[in-house]
Amino acid sequence: MEYFEDHVIKTPKTVEEITATVSKYLNHIGKIDELEARVKEMQDDWETGLKIVKTGRIPYKMFGHLEFLDDGKIKQRRVEVLQDVWDELYNAGKESEMRAVVDKSLDFVVELWKYGIFDKTFKVGYEYGLMGEDIMLIDFGELSEDKNILENKILKRKWESKMIEYSHPEVAKYFNERAKEVFTLDVLNKNWEKYS
């Protein structure tokens, strides 16, 4: 990724680059036998996400005002990663502001559901960012339109462990409390594909 003052340029990784990165991780956790399947899954996820975004049915501003450039490169506006925003606000004693940004983040996830899509990772703190007052999904490489997968993740509350692992404990506590109210099957069913 290339960083500029107000934007980034992303160059899709080659199979070799993906394999090198994933093999280090899988070696570390003792699961190198999963390498081929994981690389294929990452490639498939990228292609699926790209296909979803390129339909144009979801405003590009929701993805950081992205632009498709030559050679498969993608330009997006620079944002502040949500995890950093939440932690900075909390550490500065601005708990009510932190809560407001968390609430806005959860609302944005539901907004994506209205288009019939979601981010499979539920890494809201790292896959999403803030630019001014707007939340944006900055990594669309794990987008899906499969509501059954989303229902399963909601039932298992897949976001909880990620928040506990990566966030300040108080940020994680608030996020997970609110997510229990927002990330429900009822909210999903009321909002899924509302804009279709």
**Pair of tokens at residue 159:** 């976001």
pLDDT along the chain (196 residues), means of 10: 92 89 90 91 92 93 94 93 96 97 97 97 94 94 95 94 90 96 98 94
**Which residue in this structure is represented by tokens 């030559």?**
70
The answer to whether domain 80-191 has CATH 1.10.3470 is: no
Q: How many CB atoms lie within 10 A of CB 44?
A: 10
Query: Is the dihedral angle over the CA atoms 179, 86, 117, 149 positive or is it negative?
Result: negative
Question: How do the domains of the chain map onto residue ranges?
Answer: 2-77, 80-191
Question: 73-107, pLDDT tens digit by residue?
Answer: 999 999 999 999 999 999 999 999 999 999 999 99
Indicate the pTM of the whole model.
Answer: 0.92
